[in-house]
Structure 1
Amino acid sequence: MSKKIAIIGAGISGLSAAAYAAKHGNEVHVFEKHAQPGGRARQFTTENGYTFDMGPSWYWMPDIIENFFRDFNHKPEDFYKLISLNPQFQIVFSDSKLSVPENYQELKKLFEQMEKGSGEKLDAFMRSARYKYDVGMRDFVNKPCHNWSEFLSPKIAKSALKLDLLTNFRKYVGRYFKHPHLRALMEFPVIFLGASPKNIPALYSLMNYGGYALGTWYPVGGFYQLILAMEKIAVDNGVHFHFNHNIDEIISENDLATGIKTNGKEMSFDCIIASSDYHHTESLLNTNKKNYTEKYWESKTFAPSCLIYYLGFKERLPNLQHHTLFFENDMDAHIDSIYTDKKWPEKPLFYTCCPSRTDDGVAPEGHENVFLLMPLAIGIEDNEAIREQYFTQMITRLEHHTGTSNLVDKIDYKRSYCIKDFITDYNAYKGNAYGLANTLKQTAVLKPSIKNKQLQNLFYTGQLTVPGPGVPPSIISGRIVANEVNNLKKFQYEKAI
């Protein structure tokens, strides 16, 4: 049965849901409060010639992204050129630097140089990580997670012990590697999943395989090329986009969502998919139609927010890779400030992305495009004075790393972005940047439901529901929800009415 569907938000999960729902023959309308698609993955261009991706910058799990294009008889290269980064990234420690090579055999040699016997241990780690990746990214994450019975298959049952769901990630890494720098390298990918490696299931070693083994990539023109490609596919399948349309209310009657109110105008729909922040979406409903209370959201563990600085420099910066992690300070102290103490860190870690190292088109000739990102607790105080205090710390460390003095004097573009901006731009709960943490207690069925429990035709997609935060999971989330909507039968509507 063809349906008229409203999708709230043109972020990655919304674009994915729109494309899959339209492919099934539905009339799909996407409503986006901004003037462009992308959500947290938007892009902006400055008057003096810089182009900045606002959000995602790590192009990992390329096979999962490619699967989206394949479902529409396309390949990523139909829309953009991908470059494999070499080195994939660099980590700066207090006493040394570690560059992760593109080639796995070179990575293995690097491990062996740093710790005798760790080359073979890396092979063993990656064999297990690949198994988890194959099962996790092909079986686990594709479930709508209405109930645990979805996981009662012989294949998943057989896989249970090998997935290491009950072992924490730090302990798991410690079984293989002793050198502190190698352990930091292996723990890094899970930091943005929303908890300390001490509290993340070892299942997520699949991230190491999805990154280090499958490579770190860059789409020429910036990550936004993926957004433009997804939008083009959606449009080609008949999706209608309505930009600069803020949603004022989700209208409901009995057990059906009957439409939306946008920019003061009411519009009727058969079904609604919310790609907007889950907590905010529920604020658009009558109280008795919400899935969850404020107490529920307060009890959840969220992935971090972050402080970002978008910077343009009037000259090239030496010794700076496309991706650089500044880990000179203690990782656990920073992680505790995010998840335990919930305060600004005293001695922060941070990340630098320099796409102009790879792509001449994102900065004027001879200039450098850089953004600095520091993970933060959600819901903490955010003002310009605090932002500048941490900017000074980061730029000083960047000066030391690049061997360049007076970097501030070389800046010809500067913009900060932090908790308040995530709330204003995305209605993000307490300014979260990465959604809900992937802790064991917030996995699969234990995540917020993709379906409203009171309204049979209202669904949720994105980083606050299954499968979780990140670009590939958001693409999968959109597909899962679109399939749920596509499978709604006509008699369900008639019964409700």
Structure 2
Amino acid sequence: MITNTNSLRKRIAVIGSGFSGLSAAAYAAKSGHEVHVFEKHHQPGGRARQFKTENGYVFDMGPSWYWMPDIIEDFFSDFDYKASDFFQLVSLDPQFEMVFSKEKVSVPEKNSEIRDLFEKIEPGAGRRYDQFMQSAQFKYETGMKDFVTKPCYSWLEFASLKIAGSALKLDLVSNFRKYVSGYFSDPKLRSLMEFPVIFLGASPQHIPALYSLMNYGGYVLGTKYPMGGFYQLVLAMKKVAEKQGATFHFNHNVQQFNTEKGKVTSIRINGEDHEFDAVIASSDYHHTETLIPESLRNYTDAYWKTRTFAPSCLIYYLGVKGKIPHLKHHTLFFENELDDHIDCIYKDKKWPSKPLFYVCCPSKTDPDVAPQDGENLFLLLPLAPGIHDEESLREQYLIKMLARIEKHTGENGLLSRIEYKRSYCVSDFISDYNAYEGNAYGLSNTLSQTAVLKPKIRNKKIKNLFYTGQLTVPGPGVPPSVISGKIVAAEVSKLKIN
């Protein structure tokens, strides 16, 4: 039994150690509470875990795009640290390469050079790029500093003069595709601008133009990489939380919440009950609610079936013998139609016949993630949640992706050069993270699932149960998850436990 001898502070359980859980633990502990983090795996990070192979490969399992570095820096600053206290952050140049059917485009590190690239592809687009990013900067600074920091119990939270006066400039109603087409005509430039919102889990036609802030947070602020892998951010946040007094418990699986008179009184973990004053669940929202009686849940199964979820994905972690000279750190394979692939995810719920996919090769930047004569490859292909994903089907798509990598790089025989291979797909997201239908990124950031319209961060019938992470506010992605943890920790601190 975990107990606490100081009755003046709350005993808080944080369920899960993904980015939102790490953030919530750090902020709650800083506020003086006794914080215990329970993680079912043997290591922190959730989807951002890392594993190492016997033959020298180091794989980040999930996030690989270090965007919005200022938001992450704000987290460390809140605890009087800097990111550089924990890891070395390098800027990628090029930020990434996008492969089209007949050509490829590399996006340079410097914003002025991106502008020149746009002008070269489409005369006049350089000036329009500046205008686009000027508007995107406003949305970023307003959205990421004011809009997404609300607990979103009510629309009244957004009634401040600053936010109300910014409503039109935030483009909350217009869709992203139409917004981009108002600036650029060339299909390649439109793809370059639409690509970042894929992380938000919906077609550009169904994403509010507000999210052009993603373009600013990525292109203008730059694409970074933490040496040692994205997992270095996980380790750094864990260390910050521990410095505040949080305690981590690994291989601890939460099985049930025991409730009485509208409160969680204890949590059953590995067969033993532990008493807490409040619970912050950064675990999958739907799964968390299966741990309490149906009558006490915020949402029914019917509700979840009506939600639009961001994609799941097929991932391959590959250790390849020999170098692949013409592959960049980040490469997007967009030779096929984006809308055809998106329709397979949201309309047809089937495996795409002409897929788009993404390749990360961190060994281009970091010599410590692969043997000296090897490449570390992370292949990701977005899929519909809930789709069937047997191993033989995964293999078929691996062959397709390798063929396109070979065509792009001029390298042959990549399949025969693989010395480590591991696949990860829908069923793995379900078994490892209890992810609803195996989704990888949470709920799509459509207009009908934004802000107050997202699942609430507090249980309506159990006053000391809170939710954080990508299925609630502000939404999917690493920076939003970090913000989500901060929001919920502040709400728990307000809780009166008597």
Same fold (TM over 0.5): yes
Deviation string, structure 1 residues 158-213 (Cα, Å, up to 9, x no partner): 00000111110000000000000000000000012121000100000000000000
How many Å separate the matches in 2 of 1:147 and 1:108?
Answer: 40
State whether structure 2 residue 180 is matched by structure 1 residue 173.
yes
2:49 pairs, out of 37, 42, 55, with 42
What is the rounded CA distance, in whole Å, between the counterparts of 2:56 and 2:114 in structure 1? 36
Match of 1:401 in 2: 408
Q: Aligned to 1:464, which of 464, 467, 471?
A: 471
- Structure 1 match to 2:104: 97
Determine if contact 1:318/1:403 at 8 Å carries over to the other structure.
no
Correspondence for 1:279:
286
Q: Which residue of 1 aligns with 2:66?
A: 59
User: How far, CA to CA, are the matches of 1:31 and 1:110 in structure 2?
Assistant: 48
Residue in structure 1 matched with residue 226 of structure 2 by the alignment: 219
Aligned partners of 1:236, 1:109: CA distance in 2, in Å? 46
Deviates more, 1:351-360 or 1:395-404: 395-404
Distance in 2 (CA, whole Å) between partners of 1:163 and 1:345 is 34
- What's the TM-score once normalised by structure 2's chain length? 0.98
Aligned partner of 1:187 among 157, 173, 194: 194
Q: How does 1:168-317 map to 2 (within 5 A)?
A: 168-317=175-324
Match of 1:30 among 25, 37, 45: 37
Question: Counterpart amino acid of 1:134?
Answer: E
The residue that corresponds to 2:160 in the other structure is: 153
- Aligned position for 1:474: 481
Partner letter of residue 472 of structure 1? P
Aligned AA for 2:238?
E
> 1:381 maps to what in 2?
388
Amino acid at match of 1:428: A
* Alpha-carbon separation, structure 2, partners of 1:378 and 1:248: 24
Unaligned runs of 5+ in 1: none
Structure 1 partner of 2:149: 142
Residues 241-285 of structure 1: per-residue CA shift (max 9 Å, x gap): 110000010111011111100000000000000000000000000
Q: How many residues align?
A: 491
Kindly state the Cα deviation for residue 36 of structure 1 after the two structures are TM-superposed: 0.2
Q: 1:446 aligns with which of 453, 470, 483?
A: 453
The one-letter amino acid of 1:215's match is: G
Describe the SS at the equivalent of 2:466. Answer: strand
CA distance in 2, matches of 1:250, 1:100: 49
CA distance in 2, matches of 1:447, 1:479: 17
| Equivalent position SS for 2:56 | coil
Deviation at 1:93, TM superposition (A): 0.3
User: Could you tell me which amino acid in structure 1 is paired with residue 48 of structure 2?
Assistant: A
Distance 2:398 2:492 in 1: 45
1:340 Cα offset (Å) = 1.3
2:98 partner SS: strand
**In the alignment, structure 1 residue 368 sits paired with structure 2 residue 375:** yes
C-alpha separation in 2, matches of 1:488 and 1:98 = 52
Tell me the percent identity: 67
Q: Does 1:357 align with 2:364?
A: yes
Match of 2:137 in 1: 130
Residue type matched to 2:413 in 1?
A: N
Query: Following superposition, which runs of at least 4 residues in structure 1 exceed 4 angstroms of deviation?
Result: none
Amino acid at match of 1:267: H
Distance 1:288 1:367 in 2: 54
Q: Which amino acid aligns with 1:450?
A: I
CA–CA distance in structure 2, aligned partners of residues 236 and 105 of structure 1: 40
Structure 1 residues 16-54: Cα deviation after superposition (integer angstroms, max 9, x where no partner): 000000000000000000000000000000011100000
Distance 1:483 1:243 in 2: 25
Q: Which structure 2 segments of 5+ residues have no match?
A: 1-7
Question: Aligned equivalents of 2:26 and 2:258: distance in 1?
Answer: 24
Code of the aligned partner of 2:38:
F
CA distance in 1, matches of 2:288, 2:458: 12
Which string of whole-angstrom CA distances, capped at 9 and with x for unpartnered residues, describes residues 134-160 of structure 1? 110000100000011000010011000
8 Å contact 1:165–1:202 — kept in the other structure? Answer: yes
| CA–CA separation in structure 1 for the residues paired with 2:344 and 2:266 | 42
Using structure 1 for the length normalisation, give the TM-score.
Answer: 0.98
Residue 59 of structure 1 contacts residue 217 of structure 1 at CA under 8 Å; is this kept in 2?
yes
Following TM superposition, by how much is the alpha carbon of 1:300 offset from its aligned partner in structure 2, in angstroms? Answer: 0.1
User: In the TM superposition, what whole-angstrom CA distance separates every residue of 1:457-483 from its partner, at most 9, and x where no partner exists?
Assistant: 000000000000000000000000000
Distance 2:316 2:19 in 1: 23
Measure the CA separation in 2 of the matches of 1:149 and 1:259: 34
Counterpart amino acid of residue 474 in structure 1: S
The secondary structure found in structure 2 opposite 1:311 is strand
SS of 2:205 mapped into structure 1: coil
**AA aligned opposite 1:74:** Y
**TM-superposed deviation, 1:287:** 1.0
Q: CA separation in 1, counterparts of 2:263 and 2:100?
A: 55
